[in-house]
Structure 1
């Protein structure tokens, strides 16, 4: 058995996986990783990337650069132009990121789930009763980024960003093993609630959620990096229009984005549990155009 195979076999043992990735000083390790990943030393960089390859299916063949200053530089790498074409259909909402499709479906009143049998509430996730009402009985989808994936995320449709709320919290792992064991995990972790509105007035909300080693989120449109030093909840008013496919920011490692949409949106045929999806590919479809009155 290869080293990678042995590591995979060990980490698939649920008790061991949960112990190694959660029953440790999560916040301290995350802060350390944030510092360590930025060391610009060729030996540290090369050993770190080699170790990363042991634990994941890291593929740098799509990267725009062929060399990196640091581990962090590799984490937030750009891709070569043209590798993530955006579906041009104006009725289609695309995936904001490369991801594995997790829990998705209809929001039952104000309840959704992180995995089957593990519900949580919109109010606990968003913290804003008015925004909760906009998504009551709507649609949701959970997009999980693996550590080896492309970590930048993009606008899933043309919209206007109205507000960002940063919520300070924990940094539990967000893998399926932790989602089965930690109740309301997404509501416990650090996260940003990005409120947007389509030209038709429909609300589309993105919730990037941090995880262990991943408590830093870069948002270009605010020229901010939100992390453990950003105490929350903190509200950042915004009035920025973006086009479908525009880069919004990046995670400093990998994590999760929850997308909330109106009830009349429909999931596209490629949205299947555990399927892989790439940024720019169809995610949801808006039916015949409608205008929502806002006030």
Structure 2
């Protein structure tokens, strides 16, 4: 203990200098938007490099599972292709996703994934240099994952659906009744669909999909299946528990969805509000 005290006394000037330097840097970053943005970008670069290194190790030990997922996805795509070749009946496409030619996809690798907190994020190995921007949707072949929030040149952070601030439009697959997809912070496999009207035909086992009423996700992307539901005190709206199709504790690769018509639609909506 005496040695520690002697060390602090001998180096008190250096310690004081480092302390004051840290405080001044903190105040500079907090009070100037330019320095703050540069700091965030640099932090994303450093943390992204660390996450990338650890992700490479994790990916190696999960190659078998990732390959199995790719095989399953290829099987589904081949089945749809076979159906398309056999028939052009519109009834065969009632379950297809409504992309309307406005969406493009980019593949990316997840290098960090949180799921044990109240507000969880993912980090992906693509950024602005790959065309990634804020408010792009992130999905896997099994369901939705989240929405891009911050972007640096080579990395992006994604606000997970397992986040108290996440609110995504979703609906019952068997009807057009929709609500807001949220998470109560408890089970990483279960999310909630709120504000669904009491007249909706809710049934355990039914599938929940994206509603297509936002500019981020197209209509029809799978989310999960209903495990439980209950009416609120006024008996006007349901709160529905949904078991996710995605295993949010094990996300290896994702697709980033870009709505190519988003900028045009936002511009039109802004003009309408200004008039």
Please classify the TM superposition score into its range, dividing by the shorter chain length: under 0.3
Of structures 1 and 2, the one scoring higher in RCO (CA 8 A, sep 6+) is: 1
State the TM-score, normalized to the length of structure 1: 0.23
Higher helix content, 1 or 2: 2
Quick check: which has more Rg, 1 or 2? 2
